[in-house]
Amino acid sequence: MDDLWLFISIPFISAAVGYGTNWVCIKMMCYPINFWGIKPPYLGWQGVVPRRAPHIAGIQVDLMTQNLISVEDIFSRIDSKKIAEHLEPVILNLIQRITDEVMTAQSPKLWEAVPIKIKDRIYKKAKADSPAIVKAMMDDIKYNITDIFDLKGMVMDSFVKDRSMLVRLFQEIGYKEFAFVQNSGLWFGFLFGCIQMVVWFFYQESWILPLCGVLVGTITNWLAINMIFSPKNPIKVGPFTIQGLFIKRQDEVATDFGLLIAGEIINSNNIINAILKGPSSDRLFELIQKNVKRTMDETVGFTKPFVTFSIGTKRYIEIKNLAVDRIMEYIPEAMKHIHNYTEEAMDINATLREKMTGLTPEQFEGMLRPAFEADEWQLVALGAVIGGLVGWAQLVFVFGMSL
């Protein structure tokens, strides 16, 4: 009777092994975020996703920029007139301040000598022209948006600089699949454990339990991973429809993905910061400089010869350059006033959700598959090693035998 309980314990131990190996594999896919050990990449471990962040992020970014969203599309939704309306109160307050700062810095005596009525006319003229200036500037930026904004670079930087964000992306869009991989180890392990029990009952060779442990660890991981993505297209088997678990959840994943990406990566705040501070910000500076200088020349109008005669052409050019510098300093603060409008106008979340639901199964698979495919063999091999060790432990500690 005691021996019977030892045999009956085999499926339960096998189920525990299957669950445990899959749990370890899922954790090791994502953690630790930073390398833990003595010397990378061999004497220690770093989660598969954070370790391969540049490669995996590249795949995700290519999928997004090629199939889901384009810079031209999201910026075409922004109405330049509405931007001008939202910025008008801010600009009106800035114009007098910038004018006084620039003129005082470049020609303090001349500016001090200008009658207050003349100054007021200059302020009013600038304020009256400001909506048209902002609209023209926004139209210019939209027309040249691909030169001043690198969507792919912004998303790539977000994932690589903060690898925990990439881990969270996979965990949120694939949480059901990760749970399935983990729980399937329990059921597959129990099933294979029953087979192992029958084999061991008739053939008690010392190598059988370790070998069965290796097979359980290997097959449970391999089956679980493949059931996530295969088959890509639904197959009818009697009353049942079989399809990869992740592929089947396309609409649900699209919602989760859109919320995360639009909320934390491709949002109005990050886009504006990338434009103002990114590698192409010099191009933005050129556009603003062109518009501001043209506007100043138009504002001065027919008095320009007298102005340049009074202060000199060189000083006049310096004044225009300083005006551009001051505007660039104030732009980040001013842009905060259009975040809500641009967020609503771009509607990144809805765009991502709509486009993702239209992806083919092959394209959609690429949302989660990169987390598995390159190091999938490591996860399967890990299951084999752990399963073999547990099989050996069963042999030695449960049945009192040795290899």
Amino acid at position 172, single letter: E
pTM metric for this prediction: 0.71
Is residue 373 very low, low, confident or very high in pLDDT (cuts 50, 70, 90)? low
Q: What is the pLDDT of residue 307?
A: 56
Q: Give CB contacts under 8 A, 24+ apart, made by 76-81.
A: 76/142, 77/345, 77/346, 77/347, 78/138, 78/142, 78/342, 78/345, 78/346, 79/345, 80/134, 80/135, 80/138, 80/139, 80/142, 81/131, 81/135
Residue 302: the pLDDT is 47
Q: Does residue 39 fall inside a structural domain?
A: yes
Identify the pLDDT of residue 311.
62
Structural domain contains residue 338? yes
Q: Is 242 left (phi over 0), alpha (psi -120 to 50) or beta?
A: beta
How far apart are the C-alpha atoms of 11 and 195, rounded to whole Å?
A: 8
255 in a structural domain = yes
Phi, psi of 239, rounded to the nearest 5 degrees = -80, -5
Terminal Cα-to-Cα distance of the chain (whole angstroms): 25
Q: What is the pLDDT of residue 341?
A: 86
Q: Where are the alpha helices (DSSP H) in 301-375?
A: 304-311, 313-335, 339-346, 348-357, 361-365
Average pLDDT of the segment spanning 289-296: 71
Question: Are 241 and 335 spatial neighbours (Cβ–Cβ below 8 Å)?
Answer: no
Question: What is the per-residue pLDDT across 97-143, written as a single tens digit (0 to 9) for each?
Answer: 777 777 777 677 766 777 777 777 777 777 777 777 778 778 888 88
In-domain check, residue 365? yes
Is 289 within the bounds of a domain? yes
- The residue among 48 and 3 whose pLDDT is bigger is 48
**Average pLDDT of the segment spanning 259-285:** 82
Distance CA 106, CA 118 (A): 18
For the beta carbon of residue 3, count every other beta carbon within 10 angstroms. 9
Angstrom distances, CA of residue 269 to CA of 34, 90, 322, 343: 28, 18, 27, 8
pLDDT at 371: 62
Of the candidates 246, 228, 216, 171, the one whose C-alpha atom is nearest the C-alpha of residue 20 is: 216
Contact criterion met (CB below 8 Å) for 320 and 298: no
Q: Answer yes or no: is 84 within a domain.
A: yes
Instruction: Return d(Cα 234, Cα 254) in angstroms, integer.
Output: 19
The domain total for the chain is: 1
H-type alpha helices, 203-280: 208-229, 245-248, 250-264, 268-277
Residues 273 and 154 sit within 8 Å (Cβ to Cβ): no
pLDDT for the residue numbered 1: 46
Query: Does residue 51 form part of some domain?
Result: yes
Structure confidence by residue, pLDDT tens digits, 154-197: 888 888 888 888 888 888 888 888 888 788 888 888 888 888 88
> What's the mean pLDDT when you consider all of the chain?
79
pLDDT digits (tens, 9 = 90+) for 47-76: 888 888 888 888 888 888 888 888 888 888
How large is the average pLDDT for residues 30-46?
83
Residue 403 lies in a domain: no
Residue 182 sits in which domain range?
2-398
